[in-house]
Structure 1
Amino acid sequence: MGSDPAVDVPAEEMVTGLTTLTGSGQSEEKRVTLQIEPRAVFEGDTLTLSCLVRYGYKPDRIEFYKDNIVLQSQAGKVLRMDHVPKRDEGSYKCRVWWRSIYFLDSAEVWVSVRELFSKPTLTFTLVSPVWEGDAVTLQCAAQIYKQGTQLQYRYSKEGTDLRGSGSHDQHSIPAAGLRDTGKYQCEVEAAGTGLVKKTSDPVSLTVRELFSKPTLIFSPVSPVWEGEAVTLQCAAQIYKQGTQLQYRYSKEGTDLRGSGSQDQHSIPAAGLRDTGRYQCEVEAAGTGLVKKTSDHVSLTVRDGQPKPALSQKPDGEICEGDPVTLSCVVEGGFGGWRYLWYRDRQGAPVYQRDSSSGAGYTISAAALSHSGEYWCRAERERTSLHSQYSDPIRVNVTALFSRVTLTATPGVTVKEGEPLNLTCEAAVNKPTHPQLHYSIMRDGEPVTNSTDSALYSIASTEKSHTGSYKCAVESQGVRKSSQELHIEVQNLPSERLEKCKGAFG
C-alpha cells in the first residue's frame, strides 16, 4: 500500500524530513533498515531481527517477512527467533506502517542457517544377515559442523527406544537373537538443547537361527511299564555348519544326570517314580548364549503287564470263503508293539506283525479248518517286555454249501431217442445268497459250465450219452461236488427203432 494524495496529514504528525511515499512503499532515500544479528547462524541459535527507522514519527505497526510471507505483525521493532532450524534460512525484510495507511519497506536481507551436524548414518559392524549369538554393534555416525558441539544418541527398533541412549555413538547387542530381527534407527541431538534432532534412515537387521527348537520324544512311546528301558531322544536341526550342541535333560524342572554332547538320555529300568514331565535344553557349545528348550513331554510308567484287546470283524459266525480279520490292540492304543497270534494254545504263534497302533490278522477266505479259538499277545519292540494274553475269541466257520445234488429226469435209465434233463442243486447256508457257478461233467469231462443255469438237457438221447455224471457248485473260492450219478441209455428193439426213425423222418 502507498501514499494517498487525498489524505491531509497534520503538520504535528508529520515525520520530520520524510519524503513523499511512493506507490510501492519505497522512498527515494532508504529510511527503514532491517538489522539481523548474527547474519550467519547455526541450527539452534537465536536470531534477532531489528527494524530501524532513521528518523520521524513513531510507527504504529511493524511487520516482518520471510520470502515475502508475513511472519509476525507487532508494535515493537525487534523480533527474536529462538532455536532456528535449517528451514528458517531465506530472505527477510520488515515493513513500517503509520496509521495503517503509509508504509515503508526495508531492503531484503539473506539469512543463512548452517547445519549444526549432519543427518546421521546407521551401520552394523556385521553385514546382515547374522547368526544367533553373534555380537552386533550399531554405529551411528554424524559430522559436526560447529566446533564444541556435543551430541547425544538414541537408538530404536521398529519405533521403540532401546536402552543405553547417551553420549556414545555405538549401541551393542552382545548376543543377537531372533527377536532382534527388525528395522533400526538412530537419532542425534545437540546436548543441552533438546531442540536440534536428526534421525537416520531405517536399516534392517536379519538374525538367522543357529539351530531349531528341539523336540523331545520317548522310545518306546509312553505309557511304559515298570522295568522297561526308556530312551529320551532330543532332536534339533543345525542350520550353521560346524555348530556343536550341548544337551541338558530335566524332569519337573530338576536337571538329570548325564548332560553333555549326547542327544540321548537313558532310563535303564523305568519305575513309577519316573512318571512326570520332561524337557531337554540345547545350547551352542562354547558360547552359553544361544539356548533353546523343548516343549514338555509326559512319561507315564505303569505297573504290571498290559493286556491287549482282541476283536473280530465281521462279528459272529462266518461262512466258507468269507474274509475275517482279528484285531489286537494294547489298551490305550499306544504304539511300539509287535503283535503275535496264537490258535488253540499252540506253542508258536500262527502269525506276527509289527505295528504302531495295533495290528490285524486277516484270513482272506475262511475255510472250515480255520475254526477254532484265537489269542493275541504283544511284545515291546527292542525290549523284553511281553503283554498278557488277550481273552480268546472263537472263530466258527460254517460250510457255504450243506449239500450239492444232481437229479435226472425221467430217471437214470432211458431209451435211445428219449429226452433227458439233469438238474444241479445246492443248499446255501449264507443269508446273503452269493452268485453260484454250476458245472456238470460226464466221465470227468465238462458238458456244461454256466453261472445262469443249473440244467443240462438232452432232447434225444443216444447210446454215447451213457456215463457217470457229477455236478459241482462254486462260489467265493469254495467248490463242492455232488455224488456221481450213472446214466444208462438202452438200445431200442430193431422194429421200434425203425418206427422211431420213421417218426423223426
Structure 2
Amino acid sequence: MSEKTPKLRNTPVVVSHSLAVKLVVSEPPIFEGSSLNLQCKYKSISKKHEAFYKDGIQIPSEQMEQSGKGYNIKVNSPKDSGLYHCAADNKKSERVNVQVQELFSKPTLKIDPINEILEGQPLKLICAVQTRQKYERLQYSFYKDSRQLNYNSVPSYKYEVVASLSDSGIYHCEANSRRYTLKKKSDEVSISVKEVFSKPVLKVESGAQLFEGQQLNLTCLVEIFRSNFLLRYTFSKDRQTLINTAEYDYYTRERVGMDDSGMYTCEATNLNGGVKKLSNQVVVSVRRIPLSKPRLTIQPGNKLIEGDVASFTCSVSKGSTPITYTFYKNLNKELYWETTNLTMVTYGIIEVNKTSEGNYSCCVANEWTKDSLQSNFVWMAVIVPVSDAFLMSSMNTSEISTGDRLVLQCLVRTGTAPQFHWYLNSQKVENFSDSYHLNIDGSKLIINSFKKDQGGRYHCVATNSGIDGAVFNISSKYIDVTLKDHGYAAVITPAITSILLLSSSMIALVCIRIRKKSQSTSSGVSLPEGEASANRSQPLNEEASAINFGQFQATENNDATKSDANLVYSLVSIATAQDLDIHGGKARCNQNNMESHNEHFVTYAALHHGMKDNHLETLEMEEGGDYENLPRS
C-alpha cells in the first residue's frame, strides 16, 4: 500500500470500544513484509456487511485474504502505517493507529578499491544492510549488467574477484528476507577496470608458408601502459610450450622440417601471474615438393544401385599445402573444388541416379606446381531396379481365332538391362518350341499361328541384377487369351438354303416381266467393261472389323436404262468375310457385331443376263462366283 498517512506517534495498537462495532488488529510489532490481521466485531446487528478502511479510504477486497480470524492484508513498507477502522451496516468502529516498522534498511553496495581499479588487482564488493531484528537472516545477491553473479546467506556479504577488462560494467546487490519474502535493491554502481598491457599480436617475420630447411621467426608484440611493468612470454605450437622467458619477446627456429607445421600462439603474463593474455593464432605450413599424382576412389564402390549415397575421395601421398582439389565428370564437367591444407578431400552425392553414371576424375594443384596433376578415370555404373512391368497385346480382344498371329510385349517403366520371363498359367514358357518365339531381348512373345492349347492366362516377369548377387524382379498383370467359338455348321446351312430360294424367286420374276423380242432393240444387255470385276469382293484387311452375317445389300444397276426399262438385272454373290472389301462400295458391314472372317455372306447387286443359242445358260455355283438370271425366249 502506498497511500500517504499523517504523522502519528509510534504508540501500541489499540482497540476501539464502540458500543455497536469494534476493530481488533494484530499485536505489535508489525514489520514490513508481514501480514496485518483485521477483525470487525459487532453486536445487535441483523445484517452483517463488513468493510475495512485505512485513513478513511476503503481497502479493496482483492487486497484482503480471508482467514479463520477476520482478514489479512500484506504490508510492504512503513508507508502502510495509518488509521484503520471497520464498518458494519453503516455503523463504524473507532479508528486504530497501526505502525509498520522497517525490517531491514536499503542495501548499500561498496567497492574496494575505491579509486582506480587495474586488471590483475583484487576487486571486492560488499552489500551492507542494517536489520531491525537481531536474528533476522538475509540472503544476498550480486548482479553485473542485470545478470546474477552469486548469492549467499551471510549478514555482510563480500564478493571478490581478480579484476579483468571483462569485469567492467554496472553492478548492484539485493537483500532478501526468507521469512517475509521481502526484497530490497541497492543503487547501481559503475565499475571500470583499467588495462595495464595490450593483447599480444603474434607476427611471423619469415612468413607462414615455408619450405623444409628455411628459418622460422616469430615475434610477440605487446604494448605496456604502466611503467616498470615486466612481462613473461610463452611461445606454443599446437598448445605445447616451446619456450617460456622474461628476457626476450621472440622465437627462432633455424631450420624447419615437416613437423614444424602447425598452429602457433604466444602468451604475455605479468610477473605475479595476475594477468594473462593470449595472442592470435598463426598457422605455419612447411611445404614439400613435388606434389604426387592424385588417386580417386568411390565409396562404397564403382557399381551402385539407384538411390545409394556415393562419395568420391581425392587424395595425395605428399605435396605442399594448401592444395586445390577439383572433381570432374566426363573430364569436361566440373563438379566441385576446394582449397585446403588436408591431403584428401571427399565430395559426396546424396542419392545417385542414372544420370550420375559416367567417368570421374580429380585434379590437384598448389601454388608451387606448374601444371595440375590428374588422377586416372574411374567409371561409376548406376543400376536402376526394374519397376512397373505391364503387358501389351497386338490384338484388341481376348478372343483369338485359330491360326491368328498373336504378339505379347512386356514393358517396364525403369530398369537397367532387364531380362524377361514368360508364363502361361503360371508355367514358364521357353523359347525352344515351334509354338512360341521370343525376340532378341526377350521382351516379345510371338505366336505365329494360334492354337487351342495356347489359350490361357499369360503374364511376364522382368528381372535385373544388383550388387553382391541381389536380383530385382517385378511381375505384370495377367492377360487372359481364349479361342473364339465359331459354330460354322449352324451358320453355313441356313445361308445356302436362303440363297437357293432367293435365286428361284428372282428367275421367276424375270420370266414374268420379259416382253417380246420385237419390242426390244437388242436381245441382250452388256455391263460396262470392268464392272463385274469391280464388284467382286476383295480379301479382308487384317485390321478390318468382323462383318455381321446375314446383313444383305441390294444394288440397282445403273446401266439397265440402256436396255428395256422393264427388264430387271440382279447379281448374286457368295463369299466369305475375308473376301469382302468393307471399305468399298459393294458392302458396308455393321461393325458392332464382330464375327469370324471365315463366315459366309450373300450379296445382291446388278445381275448380268446373257443368251446362248436362245437358251438359258446353266451355271455351277461356286464360292465367290457371280450367278446370272437370264430371260427365256
Compute the TM-score of the two structures, normalised by the length of structure 2: 0.40
Higher strand share: 1
- Larger of the two Rg values belongs to structure: 2
What TM-score do the two structures reach when normalised by structure 1? 0.49
